Amino acid sequence: MLTDAQRLSAAGFAATAVSFGPARMGFGLFVPEFQAAFSMSSTAVGLVSSLGFAGFLVGLLIAQVLLERRGPAIPVVSGLAAATLGILTIVLAPGVWVLAPGVFLAASSAGFAWTPFNDAVHRKVREVDRKTALSEISTGTSAGIAVAGLIALGMAFAGFGWRLCWTIFAVGSALALLANWAVLRGIDKSQDPPPKHGWRALLRWPAAPLFAVAFVFGVTSAIYISFAADAFARAGVPGMPGGTTPALVFIFYGFFGLAGLATGRIRDRIGLTALLRLLMLAGAGSLASVGLLSGGWAGLVLSAGLQGMNVMMTSAVLAIWSERLFPGCPSRAFTAALLATAAGNLSGPALAGLVVDGPGFAVMFLGAAVLPIVTAIALRARFVVDQPARFADGLTA
């Protein structure tokens, strides 16, 4: 018999696996197939990808409102419903004009899923079990990405088309929706009064480095998700049949992303500033590897591995950092950081697609790698709040 904490962890694992796996990452995984089916240029790929990340941003905003008014069940179930509908729309898409709204809907589920589970765990799970529950829920992201890659790899070897693969994603999303409704429907909204201060209270100078790092992270991670698999597919990997390379990128991405579970321990050992610098450099190395080493196994594993660790660990760091800055309203602070990430998500792929259609993949990825390098150089310990901030004392619920 599962405990309440175990049931909540399992539901959260399923929700994040679907939302951050095929629903959010699936478009990038199947870019070569979409380009062949719908005659899409790299500019069009960038625009559709940015539209998907716009869905993530919209989902974040709606989820926060629903969470405060209705509790965690409604935003999570709404997100999984959007994922299921969006994935089915992609399955049936006759052209880009239907594909694009499907990508928007599917990717919005990631925005819906994140903060409601943080709220549910903090209210319904004993303090001693919270870290375990949150770690298990976050692991769903890496697992979902890796499993989506494995399904795509199996479909490629079996010779099945991309629509069957997306049909499997839709079935998984519908099952996750039913499971989450069963677990979360009994969890009411928090009885604590809403924060006295609005979103503007988060716009303080000490928080500027947090939002800057989140934005840069959003730009680079979105560019990678949107174009890396296509770049490796065009270069090819020795010994692997055509069509399997994008799946390999996402399998290694998800597998190495499990390193995110060690984020807290690493931060305790080396400090938040050093960890942020290393993560920025990992992101830069990942992008540069696509530009320089896209024609072999070493480049693929190195690039996907570095990106997986960068994405999962940086996501955890943003949660830690925002809570340190605003201990009185951690949910809103984390959402604000994610909104900065989403802003980077929106701008990165659209601009990158224009460069790919011009100078090409190598120039685009090497140029994008400069951004996290500059950020790593600019980071100073005095900019990074690693203890609860004094100025945040008045920002209490």
> Distance (Å, rounded) from C-alpha 251 to C-alpha 32?
17
Report CA-CA distances (Å) from 24 to 76, 206, 248, 334: 15, 31, 17, 19
The per-residue pLDDT for range 100-150, each reduced to its tens digit, is 999 999 999 999 987 788 777 777 777 767 667 777 787 888 999 999 999
The per-residue pLDDT for range 358-395, each reduced to its tens digit, is 999 999 999 999 999 999 999 887 777 666 555 544 44
Q: Are the C-beta atoms of residues 308 and 282 closer than 8 Å to each other?
A: no
Of 26, 32, 21, 25, the C-alpha closest to 232 is 32
Give me the pLDDT at residue 257, please. Answer: 92
Mean pLDDT in residue range 325-354: 85
**DSSP per residue over 351-385, as a string?**
HHHHHHTTT-HHHHHHHHHHHHHHHHHH--GGGS-
Dihedral (C-alpha) 158, 163, 168, 171: value to the nearest 10 degrees?
A: -160
Give me the pLDDT at residue 196, please. Answer: 57
Mean pLDDT in residue range 290-302: 92
Q: Are the C-beta atoms of residues 300 and 249 closer than 8 Å to each other?
A: yes
Q: Are the C-beta atoms of residues 51 and 170 closer than 8 Å to each other?
A: no
The per-residue pLDDT for range 194-212, each reduced to its tens digit, is 555 566 677 777 788 999 9
pLDDT class of 267 with cuts at 50, 70, 90: confident
> Distance (Å, rounded) from C-alpha 212 to C-alpha 340?
8
The per-residue pLDDT for range 207-264, each reduced to its tens digit, is 889 999 999 999 999 999 999 999 999 888 888 777 789 999 999 999 999 988 888 8
Question: Which is it for the CA torsion 140, 144, 150, 151, positive or negative?
Answer: positive
The per-residue pLDDT for range 37-50, each reduced to its tens digit, is 999 999 999 999 99
Structural tokens at position 39? 């005659």
Question: Which is it for the CA torsion 99, 101, 104, 107, positive or negative?
Answer: negative
> Distance (Å, rounded) from C-alpha 213 to C-alpha 378?
10
Structural domains in the chain, CATH included, are 1-184 (1.20.1250.20), 202-389 (1.20.1250.20)
> Distance (Å, rounded) from C-alpha 391 to C-alpha 180?
38
Hey, is 3 helix, strand or coil? coil
The per-residue pLDDT for range 165-192, each reduced to its tens digit, is 999 999 999 999 999 999 888 776 665 6
Using the predicted structure, report yes or no on whether residue 396 has a pLDDT greater than 50.
no
